[in-house]
Structures are given as structure tokens and as C-alpha cells.
Structure 1
Amino acid sequence: MSPPPLEYVFKRVGELEIVLDVYLPTGATADDPASVCVWWHGGGSYQGTRKACPPNMELLPTRSNIAFISADYRLAPQSNIHLILEDTVDAIDFIRRELPGRLEGKIDPTKLAVSGGSAGGWLALLAGIPTKGQPGAVVDPPVTCIASIYPITDVDTAFYTTKQRPVSYWPKGIIPDDQAAPHIDPSDPELCSSSTTSSRSIVYHYALQEALWHHLWLVNAPTQSPGASTDPRSFNVGERLEMAKRDGVEVPPLFLTSGTADDKVDPAGAERLASRLKSLGCDYVWDERQGCDHLFDQDESERMERMHEFLQRHLL
């Protein structure tokens, strides 16, 4: 069993503390520091917690001698997507500038991967693909590599813009409005974590049911980021990838995986992204998992061999 993580507040917004967990290899020293993999949780950007990380990721320190860091971020709609992406950038900045000193030099943040599952995989792609003057995360210098797990990719597809009543996988029929209402008021106080068993855990599914995807994470709170884009296409990963290549920006090596039986995100999104990576001549690995559903990496027995090999190749 892995030792409990070290917890650090990397950002304060008013009274809100945003925290990251650090799982450090026991053999890491200032003379032989560990490279770093930063991970963001899923939940559509509306729900979830850094504590819900996959078992195989928690084993990165012992399995691959790579420090694993799971970071929270503010949640929509109380915070919009621009503020969420700001949190991803600030987490990386803290890891690069502050954390080595706090860990006595036991990490090497010049070798840094970004990763995540579902919405977290989307955030990792937006943070990891460098762009010039585009909305979203701007990480400088760019990350070493990206590992994105069953990510949201293109957010303007019918999967997100058409009501799903009922949501195909939801076992309880239609989610009543009054169950979602306590969690979707953008004027409520900001928060950055919610238990996977809390009543807020229905918000992503409700957003699909009512086609409120963009309304909840972007349009509902534009005044929080004056001048920021409210065009959902600004956050389509495929288009941002093409912008980077067109601008002559080097895209870091990218690992992408998704299950063919996934019905929780746009099932064709990752496949489209893999095709774009190929057509643009990017350095990438596409691991299509036959018959796997969403969250397949949360299984204790799932080793994620190809992803770990990818991280070892680029970080060690």
C-alpha cells in the first residue's frame, strides 16, 4: 500500500484553499530527484475530487520512480472554464517554483507530464498543447508529455448540445430538476472539491440530460473573466491542436486512450483526436481499449501498461 500523500495548498481564492496531493518515491533525493506526473480528476468540471485518483496512478512512485501529484481545481458553474484552466496553470507553476524547495529538492519539475481522466483528460490536453494567443491554459515552458485518459475532446458535438432524456446509462430514469438545482446556481460560493458519493455527483449527468454543458461551465459566469471567449469551439482539442501546428508550435508527445464501450463522454471524440494527431504528424500513442467503458482505469487490477511505458520513456 502506498503511504498517504503530502498535502499542499497551492492557491487561495478568498477563503477557499485549493490543494494538491503529492505521492513521492521513497528513493527520491536532491541528488536523484523524481520526475513528475500531474493528474486532474474527471466529473465534467462540475464535480469530483483529487482523492478519486486511479489505483495505477498512485503506484507511479513505487512502480516507475515518478512523483504523482493529484490536484483539485474550482468547479463549474460557480467558477467558469477560464478560472478552472487558470487553476491548472497555477498548479503547474506552484509545482515548478515552490514545491521543489518544500520537498528538499526531491522532484525535478523540468521533467513534467500532465494527465487526467475524462474532464481531467480534457484539462490535461488544454494545458499541455501549447497555443499562441488562444483562450485557455498557457503553460510556459511547455510540459514534457501528455497522458490523456478517455477525455472530453470536442465540446460542440451533438452529444453535449442535444438533450439526452433519459441519459442512456442512468439507471434511475430522469434526474429531477430539484435534485440538481442546489448545485447549479453560479452565484453560490466557489468550491474546488466534492465527494464522488455526494449529492453533487449528479450534475454532469444532469448537464447531459438537459444539454446544459456550455451553459453551466461557460455562459453562466462570463463576468468572472472579462473579455474571455464564450465560444465553446475555443476549447475543442482538435482545433487547438491544429492551431498549434499551424503556428509552428511543438506539440509534446501525447498518449491517448479510450474504451470502445464508453457512453459517458462523446464516444467518437478520442478516435477523432487520434486521427488528427496522425494526420498532423504528431508524436503520439493511441491505445483504443476494446469493450472498455468509462473509468476502466479505476479497477484495482488495471495496470495501464502502455501508458506507464510511455511515461517512463519520456520522463526517465
Structure 2
Amino acid sequence: MASITPDHTIIYKRVGALEIPMDIYLPKKVGNAPVLLWFHGGGLLQGRRDLVSPHMRNGVQTYGFICISADYRLTPQVSVGDVFEDVKDCIQFIRNDLPAHLGENIIDGSRLAVSGSSAGGFLSLLAGLYIDPKPQVIVPLYPITDPLGTFFTNSQPAPNGRYSASTEELAEYLDVNASPIASSGKVPGDPRSHLYVYMLRKASLAQLWGIAAGDESAAGQYRISRQIHQHALPPAYVLHGDADTAVGVEQSDEVVGAMLGCGLTVKYERPHGQDHFLDNGDGYQNPALYEFIMQYL
């Protein structure tokens, strides 16, 4: 299958000398189209915007939405709070500034779905909790939901035999005083691509996100299921395989359970035997997911 490339790349935020871009995929027939905003995974430690899955790129023409894939600053050079500031600024840019860049009657930024894979799914949940006004719908895909949950506070083996780098090999990327970056992994063999596996082995997600040990009050806002009763969530479609070795499926179980307990709208697809990145193949299709999204856009 030929790769679908973005129609536009726009800088939505600058922090000092650092530019943070978004890629925009437009349908052929566009007129006040809704937006599906997607954030990449990588534990907020690594990754980049061009890793958006083929089914999401293909959905632009099939369903007529504008797909936006945005970068954000990476931890541990910034905190999880800084990353969420990027998410807030990205959504504000889409709603308030992007129409002027794209032209008249192209985009309807008030009709917004927010999705993301893994750590990007975590960002979509933060958007659903704390952005005002809330997105119409969120689509967390095998999301991290609790950096202090059992999965991330106990050492995990390297998923699928991936390389487990030493602290010495990753010292440059673990340096909190190094200059922030907003994407990684374009260069083959980029050592930063080993940070996620390193974090799993060290059980150090909260630490790398800048959440101080023992500071439960500060960490609480990032433990998604504990915030749902107070802040609620918009309608959500959650996808998480029950054999996920990179983010334990109980992370989604807790959030879905909390949503159901609060009487919120949620559809949970929990395919048996499926691991992380289950939707990344060229042949993957999920009409039910897109029917759910379009129902609210």
C-alpha cells in the first residue's frame, strides 16, 4: 500500500528555539470537516508524529474527517505537566488558529475527536478530563492510564525480545538538563528508541515523567480512573488487547470500569490474545471504531 503523506505541516507552538509541528491530512472533498487529533506513543519518552497508523490515514477519505498528528515535547527533559501544556496549546491552536491557515470553510475545529496510542492514549484521556470545552469523543488505543499502577511500578521484561539498554548507554537521553526535543527515532538505530524498554525494566515511568516519589497529591491528577467521578469523560472508544506486554490491559480495565460506574458512555474492545500496536498493520480495519467516532462528530 502506498504511503499517505500529509497535506500540510504546520508549527503550532514554539518553546524558545524548539518548534513543535503537526501534520494535517485532508479529505479530497472538504467542507467544514471535523477533526480527529492523534498523539503518538512511546511513554512520552520517544516517538514521533509520522507513526500514525494506516487505518487512521485511510479514514480521512473514507469518513471525511481531517486527521491531525501532532508532536509534543518528550520527557524526562520536561515533565508530564509540560507535555499536557503542549496538548492544551495544540487543541487551542486547532480550534482558534488553524482555520486561518487552511482557508475558509475547510475545518470545523469545534467538532473534535482526540485519540492516541499508548502514551498518546493517556494524553487523549487527559484531554477528555481537563480540556474545556471537552472534545466530543475520545479514542484511547491501548493507553497508559496510571503511571503509579501495578504494571509500571514493577519491573517488566522487554516486550517481544526488544533490546534492553543500560543506564550508561542511555545517559545522554536520561539527562533532565539536556535540551528538550519534540520527536525521536527518524534516524535508524536512534538510541533514544530504547528508553521505553529501559523504563519498563527499571519501573521508573513516574520518575521519568517528573512525578516526585511519594507525592501522591501531585500524581493524583495523572491517575485517570481516580479523576473520572469528579471531572467525567466524553464518550470514549477504548481498544486494548488482553495480551499487551507494553501496557498491561488492567490499565484500561480500571478506566472503563470507572466510566461505567459513573454512567458514562464507553465502548470497550478488548481483543483476546492481541499485543501492543495491534492496529498498526496495513490491513487493519475497524469500522465499529469509526462509526462510534462519527456518531459524536
- TM-score normalised per structure 1: 0.87
Give the corresponding residue for 2:114: 114
- RMSD between superposed Cα atoms in Å: 1.8
Matched, 1:185 2:167: no
Indicate if the aligned counterparts of 2:158 and 2:201 stay in contact, CA closer than 8 A: no
Given the superposition, is the C-alpha separation of residues 162 and 3 from structure 1 closer, same or farther in structure 2, using an over 3 Å criterion? closer
> Map of 1:1-316 to 2, 5 A cutoff?
1=2, 2-28=4-30, 32-105=31-104, 106-130=106-130, 139-164=131-156, 167-169=157-159, 171=161, 174-195=164-185, 197=188, 198-219=190-211, 231-245=218-232, 251-315=233-297
Q: SS state of the match for residue 91, structure 1?
A: helix
Aligned partners of 1:54 and 1:145: how far apart in 2?
19
Give the corresponding residue for 1:248: none
Q: Deviations over 1:66-114 (max 9, x none)?
A: 0000000000000111110000000011111111111113010111010
How far apart are 1:174 and its partner, in Å? 4.5
Aligned partners of 1:25 and 1:172: how far apart in 2?
37
Q: SS state of the match for residue 218, structure 1?
A: coil
Given the superposition, is the C-alpha separation of residues 260 and 283 from structure 1 closer, same or farther in structure 2, using an over 3 Å criterion? same
- Structure 1 residues not aligned, in runs of 5+: 131-138, 221-227, 246-250
- Please say which of residues 50-59 and 190-199 is displaced more in the overlay: 190-199
Fraction of identical pairs, as percent:
33
Amino acid aligned to 1:212: S
Give the corresponding residue for 1:223: none
How far apart are 1:162 and its partner, in Å? 2.1
Q: Figure out how many residues of one structure are paired with residues of the other and give that number.
A: 290
Aligned partners of 1:168 and 1:102: how far apart in 2?
43
- Structure 2 residues not aligned, in runs of 5+: none
Aligned partners of 1:52 and 1:150: how far apart in 2?
15
Q: Deviations over 1:269-314 (max 9, x none)?
A: 1122212111111011111112111001111111122211111211
How far apart are 1:203 and its partner, in Å? 0.5
Aligned partners of 1:290 and 1:5: how far apart in 2?
36
Aligned partners of 2:196 and 2:217: how far apart in 1?
20
Aligned partners of 1:230 and 1:179: how far apart in 2?
33
Aligned partners of 1:61 and 1:292: how far apart in 2?
26
Aligned partners of 1:214 and 1:311: how far apart in 2?
31
Indicate if the aligned counterparts of 1:34 and 1:66 stay in contact, CA closer than 8 A: yes
Amino acid aligned to 2:72: Y
